[in-house]
Structure formats: structure tokens, C-alpha cells
Structure 1
């Protein structure tokens, strides 16, 4: 008997990428069915090493997904149940299907039971050997490097200074950079290069005893004893990227299924989290018939460029770790270890997760205000703001706290000093009031006023505020974003926190409206909507006038 399921998105792979994608899609009202070939909750599941480093950019994503505190507290939140062990056998993409469920995935459970899942989209988050990618026939372009590394996890006793402080490495004359990472539950990860001489001696069949013996030599003159060994491996390096991350508009790749490289820069899981951050809101918006298909296809354009850039960096990093001077460094007199430190410093921002995207459909450089300090395609900077109110009970907040990853664009109204910018604010107010509500489906407004003011936001502006209002007491937000206190500005943030476009305060009709018209479905654009802009993407709510802080909805848009 076949078990049948019907969902919006079928996800193959319940590692960090698949799980966080399922979490975010569930938050956005999208149904998912997620499987994994392995039952990782089983006590019989074999121990093996997993990603252990979270870069600052990934922590920022978790914060704006409202996951950071839960993860820090080791809490667990159930949104969708992982089906495991379940193996994906095949899937078919139909040209047409009822209710647009064009994907039919055939799976097998551990006891041989047949499972069939109908979905609108399928996401391969199933690692470097991705079944989804192989079944789709998507080429995985790149090479396998003739370099091998060793990793060992276990409980150790050592006199290495600060051995439990976190993530670090030191240089061995014969083994190259030796990785030393404090893991959870008192465990430690040790890694070193399996040089050509050692590989000739041991090969891929290097035993646990041999790996431990070489690890002791690698950390000399420090002492090292393994009280327990949880896992060890010898692995080669593959540097590959999928030819596309979105195939035929319905088959999507993320994480290692889309790109793979060495672990030298601790980028695997972190890059996968950026894939999820870039993908989830697009997928939800397209499923809800809010965004045009081009918005989803743009995921492949943006993330593939980043993956290719990462792999080029990884080629340099992995060779330097291996003790070889790569192209461009051949004539440098310094040792590879010195060059490695120098190179890490030069690409530190990118590796930390603070990336940027080129001009494209979503990053409108053409109409951006030249003086704005953050260009379209770059991440939005976090800045402190003050909530409205009087007296010592007033609490502060942060822009990133106010712009969580909830699937919505954010239109930041940098009001400047209202006494100086009121003429432009009045034009903006008029333009919004006369708009027909198309943008309200996908965006919400947020007003930032330069300086402090003890009173209501509306009174400070001299008109109804644009969404919720906050004070930039020390002018730091205006300064960091390069906004004039006299002229103000409009800044549109994408749902993943990337700046999409900027405009003058009076440029709502000329810049902001055309920007959204390029993204929104034309059928949505023709609908006059009484809609509270704080609703999720594609959720069409009839706003109760008395419940709106910002006042009466005018011609369908509340701002």
C-alpha cells in the first residue's frame, strides 16, 4: 500500500540546510515534507563529524530568523516532522498538474513501505552526493583535488594552551596547519594534512590507531592523549558547483547539493545557511502567487556567483594549507603558512558571511541615490533605535530586531529632521495615499526620525507616520546609511535583509513603485487591496480600521 502526501515543497535532506529551510517555509505558511535517508535520532546512528563553526554572518541570519536564542539555549522547536529513514528513489516533473503539484516523488521507508509525495517544488538539500541533483541530471562542474586531510573527534587530554577556548590552529613544520577545535560534550576535533608521503604510507584506509599516532606527532612538542575516539576520517577535496541551482523552475538545489569545497575555511554549512536565507522568501512568495517566477530564478543567479567565488578562494586556501603555493603566489618568498594568514585576512569579510550581490532584478543600482552609503546588493547594517515614549521606561531596540526575516520587504522611511524634510514627507504621504495598494501585499513601512522627541510620532512628523515609528536619537542610523538629515531617503530592504533600492523621500512613485512592479505578479498588481502591510507575503487580510496604529487605510495601502 502506498502512502500519499501532498505539500507545497518536498525537501530531500534533513541536515542543517534542509531543516532551516523547512523551518522558515513553515513560518511563512508553506507546507513541507522533509526526508532523510538516515535516521539521525536512532541510537544506532554512526558517529561522524559534522560542521562545527558558525560564522558571524550565519549568526546574524539566525538572529533575524528568531532562531539564535533558541539555538544558544539548546532548545528545540517543532515545525514539521522529519521522515527518516526514508530514501528518495525517483521523482517526475509533469508539464501540468492539478493545483500546480507538478512534482511526484517516490520514496521508500526503512521497512520497504512505498511513499508518494506530490509537491509544487522539490529542494535537494541532500549533500554533495545529492540524489535530487543526479535524478534531475544537473551537471556538477569542477574537479577532485589530489589532496587529503585527516579529522579526528574525541575526548582528549593535552597540555596545549587554551585547548578548550574554541576554534584555532597552530603550525607544524611537517604536518602544516593543525586544526584544534573545542566541540560540545567535552569533545575536541583535531585535523591535519595527510601529506603525499603520509598518503603513500597509509592511503584512504588509514586506521584509527594510525590517525591517532600521527595526530600525536602533529601537535609536538605538546602532549596529546585520546581518552575516547568518536570518529575519524581521511577525505579528499572536491571543488564543484552545480550548473544551475534552479532547474526547469521547479527543481532547486541548496547547500552541498549545489556546491562543495574543502572545509579549510569553515564555509560548508555557513554557505548553506545563506542559500536558505536567499531562497525561502522567494519560494514562499512564488507559491503564494505573489512574486513572478523570475524572482525565484534569481536565487540561482545570485547564489551561484557566490559559490563560484568561494570555490576560487577555496582553491587558494586548500593549496596553502597543503603547503603548496597556488597560482599568483609562486614568486612570493614567504612560507605557505605565512601566505595563508595573509590571505585569510584579505578575504575575512567574505568568509565571515558579509557578502554582497551584483546589480540585477532585485538590486536596482540604476535608480539608487548616489550618497547612500550602502549600495543595492549589500547587507543592511544594524543600528540602535529608540522606541517612542516618555521617560526612563523607554526601551531601545535595533533595526535588525525590527526587520526580522518574515518574508516581507521593508520600506525604511528615513525621515531626517522633520522640521527640515517636511515638504518631502508631505509629498511621500500624498503619493502613498493615492497608491492602489499593490505594494502592500509584499512590504511594510518603518519610519526612522533623526533625533529624539518626547511625544507621539505623528506629532513629530506633522502627519500620519509611515508604519511604525522609531527615533534615531544620536543620528547614528542616518549617518551609517549616508542619509541627509535635511533630505531624508527611502531605503527598501529585501526579505533577506539585502538592500534592494534607495530613493529620495519624494521618489516613491518614480522609483519604489516600478521596483515592485518588476517583482510582483501582474494579477496581484491589478487588485485594489484593503490590506494591513504587516501581514505575511501573500496573506490578503481585510484590515479593521480601529486596529491600525497608523490610521485609516487609504485606497488599499496602510502606511
Structure 2
């Protein structure tokens, strides 16, 4: 039997699997990947499925170099419209939460059908492969089984052996790898082969989604994210799509189903026309139409045996009620990829991978609970958890819940709880990622471990051109250590001292014979605040970093990138600091970045 030896086998060629493959190749060209997809894309339905990236997802895509192509093709939406059964516009309902989003330049919904998203991701992977990265995308190829050789150490080659069916050659082959990632969707074969159970249920509710180009409509605001309240069809979804198309979604109740001999495209179109009443629609072309049963499930673990991972729909499935599917999967992909890359390149210990499950699964569980309520309301019923007026209008309740969960829906308040990366400062409690957190649109000020790092405006020296923190801290599987140096008139001496101490510290050392890297003895009371993959990660004074850094590999160094930010400007940084700065320097001319990060420019309260 033919064998393929690679670092990582990725099962599934949807957005999640492709995003993981792309990042692993981007972060380390020496990493080898083998991605298999059961169905060749030309044979799959060309449209439909997931369509929306919310704000936080676009920030993540931007930091790994994928956002530019998306915004060239997507339909951007900043407005919403909701209508009652009479066709009267009502406010504060439906998708109103997407309006007036703050604290991000990505203050809109980016709507692009999954077909086009996958084409962009595959194109970027092909660019990396042509540039010398090692890997292959193979389709049609079907995952059959896996075995883990526990006599081989975690992270060593050959620990995982998978059997794959090559549809073109009509034969099986084996893939020996260090890690295997199942991103093979809700009907995952990897989860079962890995022996990971899941919990959840499926309702009897059926939803229809239909995409196409409209020839005519009387919908007043057809290019806004829309909600049409119907007694029969629930809260009807209206999404303007890319390439001039529109998506309509509605609840297809049993009484309506009985009116048709079979549930086909013709039936879906007829019901779509009725669902948007009193408005009218006429399709010029239908690209995709589908019906599915609503349900929620989550895997009991997102990994097993230290080497097999699940991501995306393979480990959590839910309705499309809040448009979170592709976003949650992307968050999985980003969270796992940078950690796995550090481990693969010997810059971190395999124990770092434990945080993938401890960070991502709790968020998925909360999404599942949230979706249970949302999907019930979309269907036109009050959820079991509802304790208010039993006669309340489900559409009004839905609008309230979506608005209250604005930060969660947009991804901007999504947070991770304390672990080896998110370390609490002395006496400071990291907020739990509970229901209350769902209502926050921004992270706390000053920034809190586990939360998104705020994007702030800065100025490039000499050019005096504006830039943003997220732009100068791209996700390349590194921690960005930032010195907010404040106003040198007040802070020059301590900032200079801190800079020199950091240069002398073991943070810059790659020798495995020396003690574990520490941030100790820099200055009294200073914590090291790092941004990793767009989230705040805190390394406190005297915090041993040996749990992250793999010192068994003397040729590797800590994956750190340094920046220095002053609240003023000068002809050169040397004039301000009197010594070479840490990394690149930027100006914070109005001190807004210092303020956002909780740094007092006059009292020399630094964060690093």
C-alpha cells in the first residue's frame, strides 16, 4: 500500500480545513500538509451554505492575509430592516445589532457565499505551494480510518496512521502524520474514528434556504439584512448576497409541507413567495435551494490522545439562525493553527495544544445554548428557557436577544478563560465568559487576558501616515510584545531601563542550557502584556515561560516580536529614548492608544 509521510493530515476541504492548511503553510514553510476532500468541488453544489463573516472574523482574516480578496467580492452590509406582518417597518428588531458597531474598522457584515470563500482560500494555498511550501490538496479522496501508535511520542512522526480511499485510482493509501485534524463537517467520519462522543438533539423543525437572483421585488430595502415577521413562516430571513443575488430563509412547518407531493425546488420557490408577503418577489434564476432539520450538537472533546483534533462542524453543529457557523469554525481554525505551528517548529511544547480544547469548547457550548433559544424564536415560538410574558411576541424577543448579544454575535466580546496563556494579574479576576459577557461589544479597559486586543490608531514615524495596531501585528504565530513608552518627558529613564533590561534578558536567548525564560527583574510592578493571534495574553512578573517553550530544541527561540509606542513624536526614536528601541516604533499622537490600553503616559505605568 502506498504511504504518504507528512506533518499534518487535514480531513475536509471546506473553509475550516482550508484555513488551517493555509495558516500552517504561512507560519512555517517547512511544515508539510496533506489535505483530502471527499467530493471534488465542481461536483458539489456551487452555491448555498454559509455566507456571512462578522466583524471579529474579518479582523482574524485580515491578520493572516485573507481579508483583501474577500472584500473585493463580498457584499458589505451596515444596515438592517425589519417588517411586521402588515409590511410596516419596525425598529430594534431582527438584525439591528449589526448597525453602529464600534471599536473595529470592520464594522459591517461581509457576505460572500462559501463557494467563493473556498476558491479564495484554495488560491492562497496554491500560491504558498508554488512558493516552495510542502503539501498537497487531494480530491476526491475519502477518509476511512485512523489508528494512533501510542508507543510513538506525541508530536513525533508516524504517531497517527490514517487510511484514505483515492477515488481516481480506486485504491487505498496510508498517511503517516504527527497530527490529524478532522474538519469534515457535521457528518464527520473523523470524530467517530477517534472515539469522541457528542451531545445534543435535533428538533422536528425544518428550515428552507433559497439563493438566487431576483427579477423583481417590492421589498422596500432589498439590499439590507432583513427580517420579515410572519405568522406562518416565523421570522423570515432576507440577506443580500454577493454577485447581485439574494437569500431567503423561512420555517417550513408540517402543515405547509403536506400541501406538496414532494419537497423540491418548485415547492421551495412557491413557499418563498408566500413567506415574504405582503411583499412580492420573482426569481430570475435560482442558484440553490435546500431544506434541513434544525438541531444542535457539540463534541465532548475537541481532541484526543494529544494528536487528533476536531474543528468546525465536525465538533459543533447548530442552526443558521444567528449566522455563526462559518465564523465559529474560523475561530477554531485560527486558535488551533498558530499553536500547532509553534509545536511543529519546536517553539512550544505539545502541552500548549491543551488550550485549544479548553478555549474553544466552552465557547461552542455557549453558542449551542444560545442557538437553542434563537432557533426556537426564528421558528415563531418562545423557547423553553423563556421566563417572561408567555404571550410575548417571539419576533420582539428575538430582536432583544440578538441586540443584547451584540458583542457575541459580532465576535468582538468573545473571550477565553484563564489557562497557561491567559494569566490573571495578582488580585485581578478574569471575567468568566458567561451570559453577561455576551452583551459586551468591546473588551474591558484596560485590556483583560483572554479578550480580544483592541485595534487602535497609530502613526508611522517620519512619514506621519496613519496605521492601526492590528495591521502592524499580523498573525504569524508570534507574540507581539508592546512597550507603551508614554511621554519621554516623564518616562524616558524607566523606559530606557526597561528596554535595556529586556535586551539583556533571556527573552532574547535561544540557548537551551540557560534557565527558563522569565520576565522577572525588568521593573517593579510591570507585567508583560502580549498579543497572540489577536487576543490578550498576559505573562506576569516572575512567570515561568518553560510551560510554553520547548527547550529541548536549542536552535529555536521564543516566537516574539517587539514594538515600542510613544505618546509623542520626534525626528527619531533615539532622540526620545536615548537608546535603540525594542523593535519598530510608532507614535500615539493623541494618547488614545495608551488610554485604550490603560496606560498613564505621565505616571510611567507601562504595559509590555
For normalisation by structure 1, the TM-score amounts to: 0.82
How many Å separate the matches in 1 of 2:9 and 2:260?
42
The Cα shift of 1:187 comes to 2.7
Contact 1:148 1:199 in 2 (8 A): no
Q: 2:446 matched to which residue of 1?
A: 373
Q: 1:441 matched to which residue of 2?
A: 558
The Cα shift of 1:54 comes to 1.1
Counterpart secondary structure, 2:287: strand
Q: Which region of structure 1 is more displaced relative to structure 2, 299-308 or 380-389?
A: 380-389
Given the alignment, which residue of 119, 123, 126 partners 2:181?
123
Number of matched residues?
484
Contact 1:424 1:487 in 2 (8 A): no
Contact 2:234 2:250 in 1 (8 A): yes
Q: Map residues 130-169 of structure 1 onto 2, 5 A cutoff.
A: 130-161=188-219, 164-169=222-227
Q: 1:471 matched to which residue of 2?
A: 587
Q: 2:474 matched to which residue of 1?
A: 404
Given the alignment, which residue of 370, 378, 389 partners 1:321?
378
Counterpart secondary structure, 2:455: coil
Q: Which region of structure 1 is more displaced relative to structure 2, 159-168 or 480-489?
A: 159-168
Unaligned stretches of 5+ in structure 1? 493-559
Q: 1:114 matched to which residue of 2?
A: 172
The Cα shift of 1:268 comes to 0.4
Q: Map residues 121-520 of structure 1 onto 2, 5 A cutoff.
A: 121-161=179-219, 164-199=222-257, 201=259, 205-332=262-389, 333-354=391-412, 355-367=414-426, 373-389=446-462, 393-436=463-506, 437=509, 441-451=558-568, 453-489=569-605, 491=607
Evaluate the alpha carbon distance shift between residue 220 and residue 265 of structure 1 in structure 2; reply closer, same or farther with a 3 A threshold. Answer: same
How many Å separate the matches in 2 of 1:157 and 1:491?
57
The Cα shift of 1:106 comes to 1.1
Contact 1:237 1:261 in 2 (8 A): yes
User: Alpha-carbon deviations, 1:105-143, whole Å to 9, x = none?
Assistant: 111112313232111100011101111111101001111
Counterpart secondary structure, 2:52: coil
The Cα shift of 1:367 comes to 4.0
The Cα shift of 1:454 comes to 2.5
Contact 2:224 2:239 in 1 (8 A): yes
How many Å separate the matches in 2 of 1:344 and 1:161?
23
User: Alpha-carbon deviations, 1:137-167, whole Å to 9, x = none?
Assistant: 1001111122111111223223233565253
Contact 1:130 1:257 in 2 (8 A): yes
The Cα shift of 1:71 comes to 2.6
Contact 2:57 2:411 in 1 (8 A): yes
Evaluate the alpha carbon distance shift between residue 45 and residue 309 of structure 1 in structure 2; reply closer, same or farther with a 3 A threshold. Answer: closer
The Cα shift of 1:200 comes to 5.2
User: Alpha-carbon deviations, 1:221-269, whole Å to 9, x = none?
Assistant: 2222233333222211121111111211100111111111000000000
The Cα shift of 1:412 comes to 0.6
How many Å separate the matches in 1 of 2:333 and 2:238?
29
Q: Which region of structure 1 is more displaced relative to structure 2, 322-331 or 243-252?
A: 322-331
Q: 2:37 matched to which residue of 1?
A: 36
The Cα shift of 1:55 comes to 0.6
How many Å separate the matches in 2 of 1:491 and 1:267?
34
The Cα shift of 1:359 comes to 1.6
How many Å separate the matches in 1 of 2:220 and 2:59?
27
Counterpart secondary structure, 1:441: coil
How many Å separate the matches in 2 of 1:116 and 1:270?
32
Counterpart secondary structure, 1:226: strand
Evaluate the alpha carbon distance shift between residue 326 and residue 45 of structure 1 in structure 2; reply closer, same or farther with a 3 A threshold. Answer: closer
The answer to whether 1:95 aligns with 2:150 is yes
Counterpart secondary structure, 2:256: helix
Q: 2:437 matched to which residue of 1?
A: none
How many Å separate the matches in 2 of 1:395 and 1:7?
44
Contact 2:23 2:337 in 1 (8 A): yes
How many Å separate the matches in 2 of 1:103 and 1:398?
42
The Cα shift of 1:471 comes to 0.7
Q: What RMSD, in angstroms, separates the aligned Cα atoms of the two structures?
A: 2.1
How many Å separate the matches in 1 of 2:218 and 2:158?
57
